Amino acid sequence: MSDTQVESGPSAYQKLLEDLPRTGPGTRGGEMLRRYWHPVCLSANLKDIPIAVRMLCEDLVAFRDGKGRPGLLGIHCSHRLASLEYGQVMEDGLMCSYHGWRYDTQGRCIDQPLEPRDSDLKGKIRHLWYPVEEWGGVIWTYMGPDKENPPPLLKIDVLARTDGEVKLADGDVRNYNYLNWMENFADMGHAVLLHGMVVRDLPEELKPFNDYSIKNWMPLPLEFVETDYGMKTVSVLDTGDPKVKFVNTWSIAMPTHWRFSGIRSGFPPDFTDERQEGGGMIRIIDDTHFELIRYSLLRKGNFRGSFVVGLPPDKKGTVDKKAHDKRRYSGWEGVPALEDLVLQESQGDIPDRRLEHLGTSDRGVIMMRRIWHKALEDVADGKNPKGVDRRQKGMLEVDTFHGHVKVNELKIGAENMPSSTEGRGLIRDKNGNLVFA
C-alpha cells in the first residue's frame, strides 16, 4: 500500500475520494458537515430584506423578524413554492408575498389569510427551518439532526478578541469544491514555490532588532500535528543564529476554518504589538461553490508594511497582462491570493483525486484526508466527529504562531506549541529572550 492510501485499503480509499467532497443531504460528506455550525452571512448584511442563501446544497432564505430575531427557512413557500426571498418581514416572522402564508423562525405556519377561519391547514404545515445563532458579527446555523437541541455553537476565538481590531470580509465566492481550498491549507510547501514566500529586503529600521536571514527555504521543512480541533502545520527554519529557529504555524479547524498568524506578526521593533492574526471560514454553498468569509485581528501599533513578498518579476513572469496571454487569468502571478485561486480552480471543480501522485511533501494533505475520513466514519457510526462535543461550551481556540523559538525549548506537538492568544507565545527578541513572559 502506498502512503496515498488510508489504512482500510484501496477500495475504501477510492470510496473516500468520492465521498469527501460531497456536501448535500444524505451524502457521507454532507452528513459529516451537518454536525458543525456554519456561517450563513454577516450580521451587518441581514437587515429588513430577506437574503437567499444556498447552504450545503439546500436553497434557504435568511431573514430577521420585526423583533430583530434571525431565522433561516427553506426558500420555497410550502403553499405553492413562491420564493420567500420576496417575502415580507413581519413582527413575528416572514410572510410570503403571494398569498400571505406566514412563518415564524421555527417554520411554524402562523397565518394563512385566504383560508377559512376554521381551517386546520395551518397546523399541518411545518416549513423547513434551521436553528440560527447570532454571535461575533456572524449569523450561524446548524443543519444537522436534533435541530431542537443542537450542540453548542463553538465560538471562534478571533471574533471574541478585544485586544485589537477584528475585521470580517465576505463575498469572495469560488466556483470549485471547498476541499480545494482546505487542502491548500494543509499543503504549505506551495507557499515557497507558488508565492515565492521568502524574507528579503528587511527594512533598515528593523535591522537592529533581528537577524532574519533564513536558510534552507527549499524544501520547506514541514511537520504536521493532529489537534483536537483539526491539525496544524509547522515550519521550522534555521536563522542566522544557530541557537534560534524561526517557527511558523498554520492551523485547520474542522471543517471549514483556517488560520495563520499573519506574515507580519511578531516582527520587530515592538514584538508585543506587531501581531496580525488572520484566517477565515468557508460558507459551503454546494459541491462546487463556496464563499470565503475572512477574519483577522490587527493588534494596535502594527507595523503596516510587509517585507515578505513574491519573487521579482524577472524571475517569475509578470503581473502585467501580455497581449498573447489568452488564459482565463492572464497576468495572475505576484498576488498570493490570486495565485491560490488560479491553482485551486485549475484543479477542477471536483478534482479526480484518483489521478494524483502524492509525494512526501503531501503528508499534510494525507493527514487531512485521514482526519476527514475518520469524521465520516464517526458520523456513520452515530458518533460526534472531531471538534463537536455536545457537553463543550465556549471558545474554539485555534492557536497559530509566528516567530523565534530557542532550539533547546522547541518542542513540536499538539499540546505544547506556543499560542498567539492573549499575547502568549514564545516570541523572542534578537537575544533569544521571551517577549511575553
Distance CA 329, CA 60 (A): 32
Return the number of the residue (16 or 234) whose C-beta is nearest Fe ion: 234
340 binds, among Fe ion, ligand FES, none (CB under 5 to 8 A by kind): Fe ion
Closer CB to ligand FES, 61 or 254, in the complex: 61
Following DSSP, what letter does each residue of 186-255 receive, concatenated? Answer: T-THHHHHTS--EE----GGGGGG--------SSPPEEEEE-SSEEEEEEEEE-SSTTEEEEEEEEEETT
Q: Which residues bind ligand FES (CB under 6 A)?
A: 77, 79-80, 82, 96, 98-101
Nearest to Fe ion of 237, 342 (CB atom) = 342
286 versus 339: smaller Cβ distance to Fe ion:
339
10 Å CB burial of residue 24 (0-12, 13-18, 19+) is middle
User: What does 291 bind: Fe ion, ligand FES, none (CB cut-off 5 to 8 Å by kind)?
Assistant: none
For Fe ion, the binding residues (CB under 5 A) are 340
CB of 310 to Fe ion, least distance (A): 11
Question: Could you say which DSSP state residue 61 is in?
Answer: E
Minimum gap (Å) between residue 100 Cβ and ligand FES: 6
- Nearer CB in complex with ligand FES: 82/198: 82
Chosen from ligand FES, Fe ion, none, partner binding at 329 (C-beta under 5 to 8 Å by type): none
Q: Give min distance, CB of 192 to Fe ion, in A.
A: 10
Of 79 and 155, which CB lies nearer to ligand FES in the complex structure?
A: 79
| Bridge pairing between strands 51-55 and 138-142 | unpaired
Question: Which of Fe ion, ligand FES, none sits in contact with 365, Cβ below 5 to 8 A by type?
Answer: none
Supply the minimum distance, in Å, between the C-beta of residue 316 and Fe ion.
15
Residue nearest to Fe ion (CB): 340
269 to 214, 230, 301, 325: CA distances (angstroms)? 18, 33, 10, 43
Nearer to Fe ion, 154 or 191 (CB): 191
User: Is the peptide bond prior to 116 cis by the omega test (within 30 degrees of 0)?
Assistant: no
Per partner kind, with CB cut-offs from 5 to 8 A, the member of Fe ion, ligand FES, none near residue 64 is none
Q: Which does 77 bind (CB under 5 to 8 A by kind): ligand FES, Fe ion, none?
A: ligand FES
Residue closer to Fe ion by CB (options 164, 189) is 189
Instruction: Read off the DSSP letter of residue 403.
Output: E
CB 262 within 8 A of CB 274: no
**Spatial contact of 177 and 29, defined as CB atoms under 8 Å apart:** no
Please report, for residues 180, 234, 252, 371, the alpha-carbon distance to residue 185 in angstroms, rounded to integers and kept in the order given: 9, 12, 7, 14
| 198-199 and 308-309 strand pairing | antiparallel
Beta 102-103 vs 155-156: how paired, if at all? unpaired
Nearer to ligand FES (CB atom), residue 129 or residue 303: 129
CA atoms within 13 A on the CB side of 56: 26
Find the shortest distance in angstroms from Cβ 122 to ligand FES: 12
The minimum distance between CB 77 and ligand FES, in angstroms, equals 3
Quote the least distance from Cβ 96 to ligand FES, whole Å: 3
Q: Identify what 96 binds: Fe ion, ligand FES, none; CB under 5 to 8 Å per kind.
A: ligand FES
Distance between CA atoms of residues 345 and 347, nearest Å = 5
Residue 234: CB minimum distance to ligand FES, A: 54
424 binds, among Fe ion, ligand FES, none (CB under 5 to 8 A by kind): none
Nearest distance from C-beta of residue 334 to Fe ion, angstroms = 13
- Expressed in angstroms, the distance from the first to the final Cα of the chain is 47
Amino acid at 270: D
In this structure, are strands 155-156 and 395-396 parallel, antiparallel, or unpaired?
A: parallel
